[in-house]
Amino acid sequence: MTRRERQELIDKGLLLPLMEEFYTIQGEGFHKGTAAYFVRIGGCDVGCHWCDVKESWLAELHPPTATEKIVDNAVKYSNTIIVTGGEPLTWDMGPLTAQLKAKGVQTHIETSGAYKLTGEWDWICLSPKKMKLPTKEVYEKAHELKCIIYNNDDFKFAEEQAEKVNGDCILYLQPEWSKRDKVIPKIVDYVMDHPKWKVSLQTHKYLNIP
In a domain, 1, yes or no: no
Determine contact, residues 152/190, Cβ cutoff 8 Å.
no
Count of domains observed in the chain:
1
Q: Across the chain, where does the E strand assignment appear?
A: 15-25, 35-41, 64-66, 80-85, 106-111, 123-126, 144-149, 170-175, 197-199
pLDDT of the residue at 48: 77
pLDDT of the residue at 51: 80
CATH number at residue 18: 3.20.20.70
Binding residues for [4Fe-4S] cluster: 44, 48, 51
pLDDT of the residue at 12: 95
CA–CA dist 156, 59 (Å, integer):
32
In a domain, 201, yes or no: yes
Residues of the chain with pLDDT under 70: none
Binding residues: 25-27, 40, 44, 48, 50-52, 84, 86, 127-129, 210
Binding residues for substrate: 25-27, 40, 84, 210
In a domain, 2, yes or no: no
- For the entire predicted model, the pTM comes to 0.95
In a domain, 194, yes or no: yes
Among candidate residues 72, 66, 76, the one with its CA nearest the CA of residue 23: 76
Three-class secondary structure of residue 49 per DSSP:
coil
In a domain, 19, yes or no: yes
Three-class secondary structure of residue 156 per DSSP:
helix
pLDDT of the residue at 186: 98
pLDDT of the residue at 205: 92
Binding residues for S-adenosyl-L-methionine: 50-52, 86, 127-129
In a domain, 20, yes or no: yes
- Amino acid identity of 207? L
pLDDT of the residue at 49: 74
pLDDT of the residue at 192: 98
pLDDT of the residue at 199: 98
pLDDT of the residue at 66: 98
Domain that holds residue 150: 13-206
In a domain, 193, yes or no: yes
CA distances from 43 to 104, 113, 118, 144 (A): 27, 14, 16, 23
In a domain, 7, yes or no: no
